[in-house]
Amino acid sequence: MKSLVFLFLSSLIASSAIVEEFSRQPYVQLATDNSIRVVWRSRNEMTPKVVFGTTVDDLSSEVPAEQIITRKHPSLGEENPIFKDAPVDTRQFEATVTGLKPLTSYYYAIYDGDKRLTPADSSYRFKTNPVPGSDTPVYFWVVGDSGTGGKAQAQVHTAMVEHTAKNGRPIDLYLHVGDMAYGSGTNKEFSDRFFKMYEPTLRNTVCWGSMGNHEGRTSKGATGIGPFYDAFISPTKAEAGGLPSGKEAFYSFDWGKVHFICLDSHDLDRRPTGEMAQWLKADLEKTKAEFLIAFFHHPPYTKGSHDSDREGQLVEMREHIMPILESGGVDLVFTGHSHIYERSMLIDGAYQTPSVAKGVILDDGDGDPAGDGAYRKSEGLKPNNGHVSIVTGHGGTANRRSGTHPVMRKIILDHGSCLITIADDTIKGEMLNSNGVIRDTFAIKKSGEVTHTVVENPWQPEPLRRAQPQAGPKPPRNATVIIDKNETWSYLAGSHPSGDITDWAAPDYDISAWKTGKAGFGYGDNDDTTEINMRGKFTTVYIRKEFQLPKNANLDKLGLHVSYDDAFIAYLNGHEVHRQGVDKKQGKEADGFTNHDAKGFEYFPLKGISKILKPGQKNVLAIEGHNVNINSSDFTLHPRLLLAK
């Protein structure tokens, strides 16, 4: 293992040593049994060339400059440009390497004329696919919702590299189920949070990608334009098997006896009459594969950071697309979006909203060969013979669980990824966490003819046990409302106020450049009057409002009645009077946040404020609201101010 890990670390050093030569390091795309694409970016003019061969020391074949596609910024007026958010001097080079032998390892190097740009390193390699239909084992990696550029993402990747090195079996391919470049899938976010993070793997292993909602902010499935579609080269003409789709948004490919299908669950028509569903039906009718794997972003079954019974894209994938996949004999469905690991029992026909376990569980065992035993299916692709659905949205961003989905056998809050082996007649799946520990194992054995009987009273997962918060003070009855729900406030979102850290909360602070909106403020739960597009961009919102108190008001009776998610600090006339869920400091320096779901209005009496307030005159209530995580699924800040009698 030490030597293999050393090679991995050496490749990291090599990549950092040549960063000036490339603005995006070389990586491989769209492998077939006789070809592959090699892609890289530079901000320099060059005469590109790819040389390759079957040994590191004998790169005797080449793809010359005239056969390499060069894509440039649209301002330069050339055809097939890259997306406009890339630096103007960016050049993307796409070389198609052809005439290759099936299931063969090749080594390659990138040249600028006669100058070699990549080191003589065995990690610059690729392996062609086997001939479609051939009986060749496959080992692949599946990751979702990873693109933070942070520590957890790096640990998940390193765990896979070290695990496969220890076992002496590198992965053959890599599926990403979306949200690989938070928060908006821009050119820079792709470079920093996808390519740099996975570079040692991407230079020799094809990643087949499905667009997530974050990439969908800058890329469009209908047109195939945007940073996502610059990053990935996907088959549109059945170059790697399957049926031509005509779009990179959805496609299929074959790897030996396995058929893979990628769908766009984000921004295309998901109805059975839509173009994608019609293509899917035709593709499934055509395939002669023995195993079928589907992957897309939005999960048909989840109770993680998202709820598949409440969100339109998730409901439609379950109600419209899952019947087509199951009628085609699908074995595994991989999704992300929900930041959790969830793995189902063997199920079929779970299309109802809300989801139920009754009538849809074909095997309620744990699927572990060392436990209840592998799930059983008929050989080949038998319609409606059961599948396992996996939410693998735990690749790097913050995990969260909102409930318990009735079809799930394993529910794990832990960063990680999935490693899948398909050999002979068996699929074996493992969930590897970021520390290199296998947290879940299951298998599906496909042989003979298997007829299932629906499990009448299936095993059910334990319901989510929520910590019961201590009840706070109840709001006073018959209180005078000083500031009510849905009143208009001034607010600042997307930046921090100028001046010292709490100047913005003082009565005389200039807010002429601030926006105004009605409370509550936030996103994600359909309970906010003023929607703020902050997910993936920023975590803090500042609001303030002037108010007057009666001249004879008892200032010890004032209290804050607020619905909030996750934390806040409140000020009266520039003085902090209450903080909830913020451990230390204020404003842009605030730190130590605590998760909190907005479950209604909560009351907080404000004590020791009599010398701060001015009855009969102008006063200011100012509140800074904080989200625990930049990629959190929701945020709420909705205050009231009450005066008890």
Query: What does the angle CA 332 – CA 338 – CA 339 come to, to the nearest 5 degrees?
Result: 110
> How much is the average pLDDT of 446-459?
97
In the three-class reduction of DSSP (H, G, I as helix; E, B as strand; rest coil), residue 587 is classed as helix
DSSP letter for 241, please: B
The pLDDT, as a whole number, for residue 595 is: 83
- pLDDT, mean of residues 240-259: 98
Are 298 and 266 in contact, with CB atoms under 8 Å apart? Answer: yes
Q: Are 332 and 294 in contact (CB under 8 A)?
A: yes
DSSP 402-426: ----TTEEEEE-S-EEEEEEEETTE
Please choose, from the candidates 120, 525, 446, 499, the residue with its C-alpha nearest in 3D space to the C-alpha of residue 257. Answer: 446
Check pLDDT > 50 for residue 598: yes
Please report which confidence band the pLDDT of residue 300 belongs to, taking 50, 70 and 90 as the band edges: very high
Residues 588, 592, 593, CA angle at the centre, nearest 5°? 85
Tell me what percent of the residues of the chain surpass a pLDDT of 90: 85
Kindly report the average pLDDT of the chain as a whole number.
93
pLDDT at 552: 85
* 213/208 Cα distance (integer angstroms): 17
pLDDT tens digits, 534-572:
988 999 999 999 999 998 888 889 999 999 999 999 999
Residue pair 305/629 in contact (Cβ under 8 Å)? The answer is no
Which among 366, 284, 364 is positioned nearest to 331, based on CA atoms?
284
**In the structure, what pLDDT confidence band is assigned to residue 17 with cuts at 50, 70 and 90?**
very low
Task: Write down the pLDDT at residue 83.
Answer: 95
Q: Please, where in the chain does CATH 3.60.21.10 lie? A: 146-461
Please, are residues 585 and 627 in contact by the beta-carbon 8 Å criterion? no
pLDDT of residue 13: 40
Both structure tokens of 556: 């010890």
Amino acid at 586: Q
Find the mean pLDDT for residues 379-408.
Answer: 96
The Cα 242–Cα 550 span in angstroms is 75
Contact (Cβ atoms closer than 8 angstroms) between residue 610 and residue 643: no
Indicate the DSSP class of residue 130: P
Instruction: Give the model's pLDDT for residue 467.
Output: 52
State in words which class domain 22-128 has: mainly beta
Chain segment 408-430, per-residue pLDDT in tens: 999 999 999 999 999 999 999 99
What pLDDT does residue 469 have? 53
Alpha-carbon distance of 40 to 21, in angstroms, equals 10
pLDDT tens-digit map of 116-126: 999 999 999 99
| Structure tokens belonging to residue 118 | 């990549």
**What is the pLDDT averaged over residues 611-629?**
92
CA distances from 444 to 260, 291, 473 (A): 17, 11, 54
Mean pLDDT over 357-377 rounds to: 97
Task: Answer yes or no: is pLDDT of 470 > 60.
Answer: no
Identity of the residue numbered 420: I
132-160 mean pLDDT: 97
Residue 631's pLDDT is 78
Q: How many CB atoms lie within 10 A of CB 560?
A: 25
299: cis peptide before it, omega within 30°?
no
Q: Which of 38, 41, 8 is nearest to 154 (CA)?
A: 8
**Average pLDDT rounded to a whole number, residues 447-462:** 96
Q: What local confidence, expressed as pLDDT, does residue 466 receive?
A: 59
Read off the amino acid at residue 581: G
Report the CATH superfamily, name and number, of domain 480-643: Galactose-binding domain-like (2.60.120.260)
- Give the predicted TM-score (pTM) of the model: 0.75
- Range 305-321 average pLDDT: 96
- Residue 446 phi/psi, 5° resolution? -115, 105
Which residues of the chain form CATH 2.60.120.260?
480-643
Query: pLDDT tens for residues 493-509?
Result: 999 999 988 999 999 99
Q: Out of 9-18, 308-317, 322-331, which region has the weakest mean confidence (pLDDT)?
A: 9-18
Decide: 351 and 322 in contact? Cβ < 8 Å.
yes
Q: How far apart are CA 308 and CA 106, in angstroms?
A: 43
Residue 177: count other Cβ atoms within 10 Å of its Cβ: 32
Q: Out of 3.60.21.10, 3.40.250.10, 3.40.50.300, 3.60.60.10, which CATH number does the structure's domain 146-461 have?
A: 3.60.21.10
Residue among 255, 246, 233 nearest 278 (CA)? 246
Least confident of 159-163, 359-363, 573-577: 573-577
